[in-house]
Amino acid sequence: MSKGQKSSGIFRWYFQSNLLLRILLGLLFGAVLGLLVGPRVAVIQPLGSLLVNLLKMIVMPLILTSLVVGAASIQPRELGKIGLRIFLFYMITSALAVGVGLAMANLFKPGAGLELAAVADAAGKEFQQPRFVDTLLNMIPKNPFGALSGGAVLPTIFFALVFGIGVSVVRSSQEERLAKAGEAVFTVFEGCAEVMYILVRGILQYAPIGVFALIAVVFGKQGSKAFGSLGLVTLTAYAGFAIQIAGIYGIILILNKLRYGRFFKGAREAMITAFVTRSSSGTLPVTMRNVTENLGVPRKVASFTLPLGATINMDGTAIYMGVCALFITNAVGMDLTLAQQFTIILTAVLASIGSAGIPGAGAIMLLMVLNSIGITIEAGSSVAAAYAMILGIDALLDMGRTITNVTGDMVGTVLVSQKEGELNRSLWD
């Protein structure tokens, strides 16, 4: 066989074989390469950054266009009902998630007996707790174009929703001129949204290579640490993620007569992408594609519930907060009362809402949770040492957090579609 024929064979295999299989192979080979080569594997980081940047490039235009189309094709009253349902789902599962995290940490007791010395190299960090009204007010963009270009998801959702509702009102106007103009705006947004979906499909063709590089770098830098002294924290957190994904979401799906295996089959690409990119917002294009194409959710529902979920629904982050709060208090030999654990549940839910869907966000918001039980991080203190320890393996913990976060968004979205009678059940049988 000539050289040309051989390389076209590899190309053909690449583009014609199953995407998921390729992504899984990337994941596997990446992890092995990372563990074998160690930190030096970081030279292939650009291959991973390429995937992350491509996904990020598409996120804001995708949210804007698909949400405008979604809001314009839905009755405002229906939108309100979907909004309320998904919000309740997100809040309740987040509270359950912190409970799971605390239960796991009480069981495994990570950090106990560590008796940290009072010397640490973590810098002192102060945390200003944002006021609840401010969080709400900040959802309204002072400048929608600024929000869009700055990547601010919640304000963009708000603007896209009101704009979409406006389009729907103009479109259904009695006056022919207005109805025509409204229809034109709708068609433009609809066309743009379709283009975005095509671009996502194209970007995903590159995903296996990006996944390979991203996972290799994390395992190269941090993989070995997970087997060392921090193994118990990693294990505790991952036990929590597994219970949330397989147990809590599983029960929710089964109770709603949705086939468990079918869900995971349809959601796999998004779950793996979340795992390696460590970003719910970065994964959004894949999440949207999976729920609409594989799980039968209409775009008008997914375009609203998923960007919202990627911003406010962070069950994995909530579990992590429960586990790490207990790790830190155990490590410095502090006992937590039941009331303090309850405070952790409350603040962790708020902190997970406040965490952005980007890598490492949860680790910063953990400071808010620690603050709520009277722990501040002073430079050189033992608390700072314990915090620095978990920061050292944050990428590993973040992978588990993000896969849980994104799975929770998808379960909520499927459930709300089903409750609204909008789920294409034929895909589930």
When asked if residue 361 is in the footprint of ligand ASP (CB under 6 A), the reply is: yes
Stretch that binds ligand ASP, among 105-113, 167-175, 191-199, 397-405 (CB under 6 A): 397-405
Beta carbons of 409 and 287 less than 8 angstroms apart: yes
Residue 267 contacts by C-beta under 8 Å, 6 or more apart in sequence? 290, 291, 294, 295, 407, 410
Cα 136 to Cα 147: distance, rounded to the nearest angstrom: 15
Closer to ligand ASP by CB, 31 or 314: give it. Answer: 314
When asked if residue 408 is in the footprint of ligand ASP (CB under 6 A), the reply is: no
When asked if residue 341 is in the footprint of ligand ASP (CB under 6 A), the reply is: no
Closer to ligand ASP by CB, 173 or 371: give it. Answer: 371
Map residues 259-288 to x or -, x wherever contact with ligand ASP holds by CB under 6 A: -------------------xxx--------
Owner of token pair 């809001």: 71
Map residue 349 onto helix, strand or coil.
Answer: helix
Give the count of beta carbons closer than 10 Å to the beta carbon of residue 329.
Answer: 23
One of 269, 315, 398, 409 touching ligand ASP (CB under 6 A): 398
When asked if residue 311 is in the footprint of ligand ASP (CB under 6 A), the reply is: no
Stretch that binds ligand ASP, among 28-36, 112-120, 353-361, 367-375 (CB under 6 A): 353-361
CB of 311 to ligand ASP, least distance (A): 9
Beta carbons of 321 and 369 less than 8 angstroms apart: yes
Closer to ligand ASP by CB, 65 or 273: give it. Answer: 273
Map residues 227-266 to x or -, x wherever contact with ligand ASP holds by CB under 6 A: ----------------------------------------
Closer to ligand ASP by CB, 279 or 418: give it. Answer: 279
Query: At what angle are helices 394-419 and 361-372 packed, to 10 degrees?
Result: 90
Stretch that binds ligand ASP, among 103-111, 138-146, 155-163, 394-402 (CB under 6 A): 394-402
One of 322, 362, 400, 412 touching ligand ASP (CB under 6 A): 362
Q: Which of 271, 267, 274, 275 is nearest to 296 (CA)?
A: 267
Cα 24 to Cα 293: distance, rounded to the nearest angstrom: 20
CB of 402 to ligand ASP, least distance (A): 4
CA dihedral 371, 374, 377, 380 (to 10 degrees): -170
CB of 344 to ligand ASP, least distance (A): 16
Cα 275 to Cα 261: distance, rounded to the nearest angstrom: 19
Task: Name the closest residue to ligand ASP (Cβ).
Answer: 362
Q: What angle do CA 182, 187, 190 make, to 5 degrees?
A: 125
One of 313, 405, 407, 413 touching ligand ASP (CB under 6 A): 405
When asked if residue 317 is in the footprint of ligand ASP (CB under 6 A), the reply is: yes
CB of 118 to ligand ASP, least distance (A): 28
Sign of the dihedral defined by the CA atoms of residues 414, 418, 420, 424, in that order:
positive
Stretch that binds ligand ASP, among 193-201, 328-336, 359-367, 419-427 (CB under 6 A): 359-367
Residue 372 contacts by C-beta under 8 Å, 6 or more apart in sequence? 129, 343, 344, 346, 347
Closer to ligand ASP by CB, 114 or 389: give it. Answer: 389
Closer to ligand ASP by CB, 141 or 400: give it. Answer: 400
Give the count of beta carbons closer than 10 Å to the beta carbon of residue 183.
Answer: 15
When asked if residue 315 is in the footprint of ligand ASP (CB under 6 A), the reply is: no
CB of 378 to ligand ASP, least distance (A): 24
Q: Which helix (H) or strand (E) holds 205?
A: helix 176-222
Give the count of beta carbons closer than 10 Å to the beta carbon of residue 83.
Answer: 15
Q: Give the chain's radius of gyration (CA, Å).
A: 22
CB of 254 to ligand ASP, least distance (A): 25
Beta carbons of 291 and 414 less than 8 angstroms apart: yes
Residues touching ligand ASP: how many (CB under 6 A)?
Answer: 16
Q: Which of residues 150-209 bind ligand ASP (CB under 6 A)?
A: none
Which amino acid makes up residue 92? I
Chain contacts with ligand ASP (rule: CB under 6 A): 278-280, 314, 317, 355, 357-362, 398, 401-402, 405
